[in-house]
Chains A and B, each alone.
Chain A
Amino acid sequence: MTRKLMIVDDEESFNLLFKANVETRGDFDVVTTTDNNNVVTLAKEVKPDLILLDILMPGRNGIEISEELRTNRWTKNIPVAFLTSLAHADDARQNIEGSGTGSYFLSKLFGIEELLEAIEMILREAPDSSMTT
């Protein structure tokens, strides 16, 4: 079954290449956006199986967006992972400390196979996605 991924990143180039890679290598349909102001609306519409969020973006950052997703009844059960270029996962964790989202951290510099494995694992661990749809 084709799974839907949604990626939110202000880097249009990264989105394009990530989408092409993931769709070529796995059974995924990837929706990309650089608009970090309307993520909740788009997520409600797309109903993705997983949302990948960049952390450092101008304006609203990934942490703020994940909090919005958590507090919205239509999106709160969609698993969220952060896909970031921050030096190492600890930096990212420090940023999110206290927000209690229990989210996943993936480095943008992981190889694509490693990323796909991690995505598969998150999807397996995630609560039944039918709850969100």
Chain B
Amino acid sequence: MAPPFVIACYALFFITVLLLLLWRYISVNNLCMQLDASRKEWERTEDALKKSEQRFRKFVESVTDYVYTVEVKNGKAAKIIHSPDCLAVTGYRAEEYDADRLLYSNIIHEDDRPDVTRHHEIIISSGVCKSFGYRIIHKDGSVRWMINTPVAHYSETGDLASYDNFIKDITKEKELEGKLIQSEKMASLGVLSAGIAHELKNPLSIILRGIELLEVSDTQHNRSTALSLMKDAVFRADKITRDLLSFSKNSPLKTESVEFKVVLDETISIINPTLQMDRIKPRFSIPSSLPKVMIAASELKQVLINLINNAYEAMDKDGNIAITAEEGTGEEGKNIVRITVADNGTGIPEEDIENIFDPFYSTKKQSGGTGLGLSVVKGIIEKHEGVIKVESEVGKGTSIVVELPCELTKGKEVYQ
């Protein structure tokens, strides 16, 4: 029989081993539970991430038709990777772009190529990403409108590593926009037709008197006077029809640098006879040197016709319309040209001011306004990153102020 001391030692040993086993069991179990929780947490995170990625992809897909990534090395575009969707948008496969490095630049409409190149240069040199629109020639030969929304990616050292170009085909939207502007133009011409007819009849009446003089007069002096005046009248009639055609034709809505004074003169020749019929005298204050504005000329004409037409319809006979333009600084310090069309007409009640830019809002019951005029104007101005404001007082008149960005050469500091 072992002495009680040894038995006690054994008992203590067993108890210790038992306790150790128990502790280990508990801690392992605990660890397992912890691991399980972590795994579940991971799964949840992964699931959320997947969902978020799916959402993002759906979002990108909904606003983007295809993406191409420009990898930048040493301040230069090193490699361009096109997503497979480029086939649907441009008609060319990604492999075709890989095989011909110049293809992606060559399909850009040649009028837009310098502008697109400049946008890429700005991104590469400054990282400033700004959406821009341009046209491409699809493989099938058709012209398509694109909008590119670039997003920059930076390396750990803070250098521009690459940028994604999210491309959206906006050809359909452009076509609809063109149709809307076209129908609005035709509506304006309807209002102005009596004035335009008068403007054409004047040179016609000179030609008629000239023919009649040639019929009866045989003096050399009379004959040569008649012929020379008739010739001038023909040129004048031709100028009127050209202004009219250039206004009414469905010209491409291409943003370019436009001389405000030239566009204003062409617009006034269409609208002035109508104003004169109601003894309304437009006054102009346009400085001789004004920077060019960035807009499509035909759209600027539409803006001016609509604003002058609105002023005209807001007043009785003998009213005044003042058209002024000046160089200035707009929001964010941008260089702008500020154009104001002010009238001394009926004015707009305060409660109506907020509605005047809404489509189909019209107070012109008599002349049957389409109600689209000012909403089209606002659309055009905002598309060109301009601002439109209205100030009005009932009984005193209304001023519509339009701010349009100037030519980029002047406003280049914006990017620097």
Contacts and interface: CB of A to CB of B under 8 A. Distances in A.
Say whether A associates with B. Answer: yes
B412 interface: no
Report the interface size class on chain B. Answer: 20 to 34
Given A20-B217, A24-B216, A91-B277, A11 B208 contact: no
B197 interface: yes
B206 A61 contact: no
Interface centre among B198, B206, B208, B209 (most CB of A within 10 A): B209
B225 A16 contact: yes
Contacts, number: 76
A21 B213 contact: yes
Contact of B277 (A16, A95, A111, A112): A95
A24 B217 contact: yes
B198 A87 contact: yes
B99 to A, nearest CB: 64
B233 interface: yes
Contacts of B226: 17, 20
B279 A61 contact: yes
A17 B209 contact: yes
Majority-rule SS of B interface residues: helix
A13 B194 contact: no
A42 interface: no
Contacts of B217: 20, 24
Nearest to B207: A17
B212 A85 contact: no
Given A20-B222, A109-B205, A13 B232 contact: yes
Contacts of A25: 216
B401 interface: no
A13 B229 contact: yes
Given A13-B232, A56-B276, A109 B212 contact: no
A44 to B, nearest CB: 25
Interface string B243-283: 00000000000000000000000000000010011010100
7 contacts: A11-B206, A14-B202, A20-B217, A24-B222, A56-B276, A87-B197, A109-B204
Given A24-B216, A63-B279, A85-B201, 7 more contacts: A14-B209, A17-B212, A56-B198, A87-B197, A87-B198, A91-B277, A108-B208
Interface of B: 194, 197-198, 201-202, 204-206, 208-210, 212-213, 216-217, 222, 225-226, 229, 232-233, 273, 276-277, 279, 281
Q: Top 8 nearest A-B pairs by Cβ distance?
A: A108-B205, A17-B209, A85-B201, A13-B229, A112-B212, A56-B276, A87-B197, A85-B202
